[in-house]
Structure 1
Amino acid sequence: MRPTHLCLAVLVAAVWGVNFTVIEIGLDHFPPLLFSALRFLVAALPAVFFVGRPKVAWKWILGVGLALGVAKFGLLFVGMDAGMPAGLSSLVLQIQAVFTALIAFVVLGERPTRIRLLGMAVALCGVGLAAVDEGTGGPLGAFALVIAAAVCWGVSNVLTRKASPPDSLNFMVWVSTVPVLPLLLLSLLTEGPSADLAALRALDWQGAGVILYVAWVTTVFGFGAWGRLLRRHPASTVAPFSLLVPVFGMSSAALFLGEPVSGLRWCAAALLVGGVALTSLAPASGKAATASPRSARVRLPDAPPRDRAEEPA
């Protein structure tokens, strides 16, 4: 990998990691479901008019849009609004790699190797340790919502794998059109029109900047840059950089939000990141071993699927 591409990969991981801190700031300005709807609205418009027609069937766009946009991000934003810290969210959400592998086994018949099974066990130990740490100072219900978001992310990863989009940016922009109306409807039903209107009327430069960051920087730039890297390099070369996301997430939350990072949480981080690395990067077996080069190139890691993982938020 050339130095410029190396720097780009690290930059994307940093952008996605800092995104959790930006989300935490945004939740001070917007109800969580409205915030998520605005994220996808701004990510889709006006980009949808410039990326061309969808390059995969609409069933995949709708499926990923509902699983990733409505379920995963809706649960993540609600969980963080309920008290899940930004840094811990960036870490715990990485368990999606384990759920992706499990769902791929059930749906696609991709049998995990022993190394991947070991990685899943290590990652689950990390999540358990993080739950113990969170249980001493935060709501476990919010923790559970982020775990549920990781499950939904796993579902969207498998759908994305089935869709095999040839252009990741085109795919994500069209996917971003799907969650807007469902999230707005859920916001009106659960958060109330008065809360939504009050948030929109109180919109200031900080609130607008947060929306632009989570929409254009993390989604449009992040996916576009990651897709470019995956077109030029093997997935096994690019994917490890996504493991830097929780490092940047926890560090930025500690720096900008003053979130404490206990020794127990660092141990949980080491176990979870190590387990995800084994799960995502170990050689595949069964059907996965015969996957075509094309399907390997289009996997993205938040906000994009790596060897079985997508964007961290």
Structure 2
Amino acid sequence: MHKGVVYALLAAALFGASTPFSKMLVGQMEPVMLAGLLYLGSGLGLLAWYGVRYFISRDKPVSGDRLTASDLPWLSGAILTGGVAGPVLLMIGLAVTPASSASLLLNMEGVLTAMLAWFVFKENFDRRIFIGMILIVIAGALLSWGQRLELGVPWGALAIIAACLCWAIDNNLTRKVSASDAVQIAGIKGLVAGSVNLSIALALSYSVPEVRVVFSAGIVGFCGYGLSLVMFVLSLRHLGTARTGAYFSAAPFVGAVVSLLILGETPNTVFWIAAALMGAGIWLHVTEVHAHEHTHSPIFHSHAHRHDEHHQHEHDFPWDGKEPHVHPHQHKPLVHSHSHFPDIHHRHPH
């Protein structure tokens, strides 16, 4: 299985598994406070990981995948839309929208992510990928649907859809910096989003829960938001936005499975129908073959790589021959044909 697919499914599994645990914490604090603690736990955990990794590798000659000044506008936009505006709009929507409707509406994130990737950022897709996305989204909707669909308040529904649009923009903007350090990207997003949401909660005079609950929220946030986002960024690097979003849409299924295991419930018919649709959609994506002659334009960037057919270059520093390794490098023009995804090296028009 392609490593980009593995990263995306791991991201979905971590986020999906965190959902039942997050629900256990909802009754112990206000939703905005919980969002702040989850994001802050993510950011602080990844900051610690980044610090330990830097200390261990500080004597190495190259570490070229760190964020640069040119990445900051894209990352700032992603944080503003996905880490700040999205959660706030969601909280506004949840305040006046029935839970059943909200769950269904949240499935719009995958759809809007793909739509933006395909029609705004011009990412390649074909009929197979489109059908696979539709099956995955329908499966997620079935898992989210309770006994009946309640219409709720229109303004609340619009706020939730707006939150999904913010996260879709976030996903597409994050792809622009996905060649950079995934831990650094996810850590900064977690720290900023956590600080903003926590500030909103404190400004609204919400009480801070006891230390045990805060610690639990931090652990859930680190695993379900921090590590998940690292895997998501790595998948963006290898698969592009729409395909990563499609695989990540499997998160509701993982959450449902974990909920069933924790609560000891028996899966109903809807669960198995959703599982079949989810499996069919993922199968369509996993078995995709996209190959044609394409042109690589000259590009200068930095990321972890091996000296494969796309990376034939000299080094201007002492190299011990180990791969993969990271450093800024120049790609020369190249025309060839092979099976590929819309990764950081294949963003060409069709």
| Residue of structure 2 in register with 1:110 after alignment | 123
Which runs of 5 or more structure 1 residues have no equivalent in the other structure? 299-305, 309-313
Structure 2 residue identity aligned to 1:103: L
Q: State the secondary structure of the residue aligned to 2:180.
A: coil
**Larger strand fraction of residues:** 2
SS in 2 for 1:57: helix
1:254 alignment counterpart: 260
1:22-71 per-position Cα deviation (integer Å, ceiling 9, x unaligned): 11012112211121112222322374474576446221222111222224
Q: For residues 108 and 266 of structure 1, do their structure 2 counterparts lie closer, same or farther at Cα, with a shift above 3 Å needed? A: same
TM-score, normalized by length of structure 2? 0.60
Within 1, Cα distance between the matches of 2:15 and 2:174? 19
Q: Can you list the C-alpha shifts for 1:138-183, whole angstroms capped at 9, x where unaligned?
A: 7766888766544333211110112234211111111223223432
Distance 1:295 1:264, change over 3 A: farther
The equivalent of 1:152 in structure 2 is 166
> Residue 63 of structure 1 corresponds to which residue in structure 2?
77
Gaps of 5+ in 2: 55-65, 306-340, 344-350
Q: Is the Cα contact below 8 Å between 1:101 and 1:112 reproduced in 2? A: no
Q: Secondary structure at the match of 2:120?
A: helix
CA–CA separation in structure 2 for the residues paired with 1:295 and 1:145:
38
Cα 1:23/1:260, change in 2 over 3 Å: farther
Return the match for 1:216 from 222, 235, 240.
222
Aligned to 1:15: 14
Distance 1:213 1:245 in 2: 18
Alpha-carbon distance in 2 for matches of 1:269, 1:144: 29
Q: Quick check: 1:28 aligned with 2:41?
A: no
| Mapped pair 1:173 → 2:187 | yes
Residue pairs, 1:90-239, within 5 angstroms: 96-126=109-139, 129=142, 133-134=145-146, 136=148, 149-187=163-201, 192-193=204-205, 196-197=206-207, 200=208, 202-205=209-212, 207-224=213-230, 235=239
CA–CA separation in structure 2 for the residues paired with 1:44 and 1:226? 15
Report the AA paired with residue 38 of structure 1: L
Letter in 2 for 1:122: L
Q: For residues 268 and 148 of structure 1, what CA distance do their matches in structure 2 show?
A: 26
Higher mean C-alpha deviation, range 14-23 or range 270-279: 270-279
1:119 partner letter: G
Letter in 2 for 1:20: T
Aligned length: 282
Distance in 1 between the 2:120 and 2:164 partners? 17
- Report what 2:36 is aligned to: 37
